[in-house]
Amino acid sequence: MRDADYIRRLRKSYLDLMRESLIGALNEDPPLPASKVEGYRQDYREQGWDWPSKAPSMIGRLRMENVRAECERVIAENVPGDFVETGVWRGGACIMMRAVLAAYQRSDRNVLAADSFAGFPAQVAADRNFTVGAVADFVVSLDEVKANFARYGLLDEQVVFLKGLFKDTLPKAPTERIALLRLDGDLYDSTRDGLTHLYGKLSAGGTLIADDYFLFEGQRQAIDEYRDAHGINEPIIRIDHFGGYWIKR
């Protein structure tokens, strides 16, 4: 019993440290100038309201904790499938997914990281309030993302990268079942493609996370349309100021 408790505490400490490091809170990583925020602010980093200079994730503490908690939940409840993110920036959320698998010593699931690794695709009318597509800091190469995984000792065969536009890569994504699907492509088409090609693979009891459902109109419209068309009525649970998720029942 004492050994099990020690492992539980060790696992929690590791994942707590991963969360704080990945969002740039551990060493108070200052924001990028494009954030237009003066210096490191704990409240901004909690909600993901600024963009760290060097840390691998901009989603903030609450959304990163949501990723970690839902990965742990589906493992505990034996929900089958891989962990998938569409739109990875520097890779932070996917690194957390891989860290959870490492902490639980699970080699039966993969992490799929899908991104153009070349910036955002064209916007459509539904993306009217998306105004940051031209920010140069949002273009992160595949090599940079791989280097971030390697820095945490988590770059291995359980991490699969899908490079290209979602409409091209997601239909042939190498996964049969998904336990956690995180949509962070921001735009209408990117969100629609993720739902169209991957939601059918999401297992019962699996989690759908919409990173910017309460922020970007394009993502919200694509999700609302898909839910209406497919009779999805599970409540969308708010994570923080921007993000939401639901569990597929």
At 17 the pLDDT is 98
Contact 130, 218 (CB under 8 A): yes
- For residues 180 and 86, what is the distance between their CA atoms, to the nearest angstrom? 11
Distance between the two ends of the chain, CA-based, in angstroms? 34
244 φ, ψ to 5°? -145, 165
Name residue, tokens 């939401």. Answer: 244
The domain total for the chain is: 1
Q: Give the DSSP letter of residue 5.
A: H
Question: pLDDT digits over 107-153, tens only?
Answer: 999 999 999 999 999 999 999 999 999 899 999 999 999 999 999 99
Please choose, from the candidates 96, 71, 86, the residue with its C-alpha nearest in 3D space to the C-alpha of residue 154. 96
Query: Would residue 12 count as lying in a domain?
Result: no
DSSP string, 18-33: HHHHHTTTTTTPPBPG
Query: Would residue 230 count as lying in a domain?
Result: yes
Q: What is the dihedral of CA 106, 174, 94, 209, to 10 degrees?
A: -100
Contact 191, 183 (CB under 8 A): yes
Query: Would residue 54 count as lying in a domain?
Result: no
DSSP string, 212-243: TTTT-HHHHHHHHHHHHHTT--PPPEE-SSS-
Strand 178-183 vs strand 244-247: parallel, antiparallel, or unpaired? unpaired
Query: Would residue 202 count as lying in a domain?
Result: yes
Query: Would residue 238 count as lying in a domain?
Result: yes
- For residues 228 and 130, what is the distance between their CA atoms, to the nearest angstrom? 23
The confidence band for 31, taking pLDDT boundaries of 50, 70 and 90, is very high
Q: CATH number of the domain at 216, please.
A: 3.40.50.150
Residue 65 falls in the annotated catalytic set: yes
At 1 the pLDDT is 54
Options 20, 28, 46, 65, the catalytic residue: 65
At 55 the pLDDT is 98
At 228 the pLDDT is 98
Share of the chain above pLDDT 70, in %: 100
Domain enclosing residue 159, as ranges: 60-247
DSSP string, 119-146: ------GGGTT---TT-GGG---HHHHH
DSSP string, 47-116: HT-S-BSSSS--SHHHHHHHHHHHHHHHHHTT--SEEEEE--TTSHHHHHHHHHHHHTT--S--EEEEE-
* pLDDT over 60 at 18, yes or no: yes
* pLDDT over 80 at 2, yes or no: no
The confidence band for 49, taking pLDDT boundaries of 50, 70 and 90, is very high
- For residues 19 and 99, what is the distance between their CA atoms, to the nearest angstrom? 10
Contact 196, 171 (CB under 8 A): no
Query: Would residue 130 count as lying in a domain?
Result: yes
At 159 the pLDDT is 99
- Helix-helix angle 142-151:92-103, to 10 degrees: 30
When the pLDDT of each residue in the chain is averaged and rounded to a whole number, the result is: 97
pTM of the model: 0.97
Question: pLDDT digits over 62-113, tens only?
Answer: 999 999 999 999 999 999 999 999 999 999 999 999 999 999 999 999 999 9
Query: Would residue 47 count as lying in a domain?
Result: no
Query: Would residue 29 count as lying in a domain?
Result: no
